[in-house]
Homo-oligomer: A and B are copies of this chain.
Amino acid sequence: MAYLIKEDREARIDMSHGSGGRASAKLIDTLFLKHLGNEMLNRGDDCAAFEVGAGRLVMSTDSHVVSPLFFPGGDIGSLAVHGTVNDLAMAGARPLYLSAAFILEEGLPLRELEQIVISMASAAEAAGVRVICGDTKVVEQGKGDGVFITTTGVGVVPPGVMISGDRAQPGDVVLLSGSIGDHGIAILSKRAGLSFETEIESDSAALNALVAQMVQAVPQIHSLRDPTRGGLATTLNELARQSAVGIRLHEAAIPVKPQVAAACELLGLDPMYIANEGKLVAICAAEDAQPLLAVMRAHPLARDAAIIGEVCADPDARVQMQTRYGGARVVDWLAGEQLPRIC
């Protein structure tokens, strides 16, 4: 990790960094190319070229506006890489390339921006993707909030893989890769200045390597999705609606870390609606569930994977939960806003 030259340590973003002129060029050279550079990005054209074989590509985009910019377990830079890599992985795809567009607020310390860019570079390297094009804009102080990062990714889907949210069928099994609520509670604790006995860290992580192993073992997986904003409850409702099926969950099977459960109780929040950034839901045929679970548990990012429910016929596409105490309740979409600017 090589940092900015010493005299720039106190420098801040000003409007000239967004001019497209000399200051923009210097920012690109001394910061973006320095850390993210590769032969495609370095070329300096307004777009990047890459060769592909014939096949099925996927594309996904996400703007990241998380506040605060730095939080336990990550920052907006790593999150911006993981978010888009994971959206591509949820189609069973191998992520290849990312673009990164920055909207900077005047006054942002350059050393914070550099820390974020270094974090992006290391997340991209770990996930095996390259940032091949980018953009930088600057807005006046009070018209932005530090930095917003929009990443867009392109990936390639292995032949024979056809994963989509509309493919869940009655009789299918619902798997979850691990404990829920970690990311949202980590952000909220940092924001509110809360401290718990055990620090709660975001689960922000790139899931593409896990998915690659899952797809290799069970190429016929029906649906994959990462339960980010809106949490597990909303993600399952989306899948139920897309596939026009119902989903029955077993509350006791859904992993929640004790410190996350305690924080939720304290704050009056339901972990089912809290965002995750390193978890996935998988839906597959009943006979594929055990092999898939075994592959998941063998991967460090899904050691606590569990079968949490099953798909049933329901024209109203409801998600229902069998509670710990034997009762049943409907798990609705998130209504309103539980935690703003979580990602």
Contact = CB atoms under 8 A, between A and B. Distances in A.
Given A43-B166, A91-B47, A145-B144, A19 B152 contact: no
B61 A152 contact: yes
B336 A23 contact: yes
Given A56-B50, A59-B48, A165-B44, A337 B19 contact: yes
B337 A25 contact: no
B139 A47 contact: no
A49 B139 contact: no
A93 to B, nearest CB: 7
A149 to B, nearest CB: 9
A301 to B, nearest CB: 18
Contacts of A134: 61
A25 B47 CA distance: 32
Most buried by B among A52, A58, A135: A135
Given A22-B333, A43-B166, A152 B99 contact: yes
Interface stretch (A100-108, A188-196, A316-324): A100-108
Contacts of A81: none
Most buried by B among A153, A154, A226: A154
Given A16-B336, A91-B49, A143-B145, A61 B101 contact: yes
26 contacts: A14-B337, A15-B340, A16-B337, A19-B229, A19-B336, A20-B228, A21-B230, A23-B336, A24-B230, A25-B238, A25-B333, A44-B166, A46-B60, A46-B87, A46-B225, A47-B90, A51-B54, A52-B52, A52-B54, A52-B55, A57-B154, A63-B102, A65-B103, A135-B150, A139-B148, A148-B148
Given A22-B333, A47-B87, A48-B60, 14 more contacts: A14-B337, A15-B337, A20-B229, A21-B229, A43-B166, A47-B88, A50-B57, A57-B154, A61-B99, A61-B100, A101-B152, A103-B148, A140-B341, A144-B145
Closest 10 CB pairs of A and B: A20-B229, A21-B334, A47-B60, A20-B230, A152-B152, A61-B99, A150-B150, A143-B145, A63-B101, A46-B87
